[in-house]
């Protein structure tokens, strides 16, 4: 059984247009396995059975540059120090 992180990488890349499988190479060459148990000689197809909810959506994201500038200035001045911690930022949604 392939680990979740492996399936996530393949599924994420397969969301890109024209990608139907992912070939893993190490230093430009194929390895029989990764970590001794993940077969990688052939391209790996996505496994959507592990996905909960909707498929990943791709496209442009609208940005409010003024708000981003305000947040950056606030952070630079020492306000909201949690914004310097990527894990806390990601969890804040």
pTM for the whole thing? 0.49
Asked if residue 55 has pLDDT above 80, the reply is no
Boundaries of every domain in the chain: 4-48, 62-93
What pLDDT score does 67 carry?
A: 92
Alpha helices in the chain (DSSP H): 4-14, 65-76, 86-92
In angstroms, the CA 10 to CA 82 distance is 32
Instruction: Look up residue 68 and give its two tokens.
Output: 């981003």
**pLDDT tens-digit series, residues 64-91:** 999 999 988 988 898 988 888 888 888 8
């Amino acid at each position: 059984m392939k680990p979740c992180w492996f399936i996530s990488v393949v599924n994420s890349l397969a969301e890109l247009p024209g990608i139907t499988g992912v070939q893993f190479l190490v230093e430009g060459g194929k390895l029989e396995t990764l970590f001794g148990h993940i077969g990688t000689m052939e391209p790996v197809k996505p496994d959507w059975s592990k996905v909960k909810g909707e498929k990943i959506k791709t496209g442009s994201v609208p940005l409010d540059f003024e708000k981003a500038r305000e947040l950056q200035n606030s952070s630079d001045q020492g306000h909201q120090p949690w914004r310097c911690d990527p894990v806390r930022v990601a969890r804040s949604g």
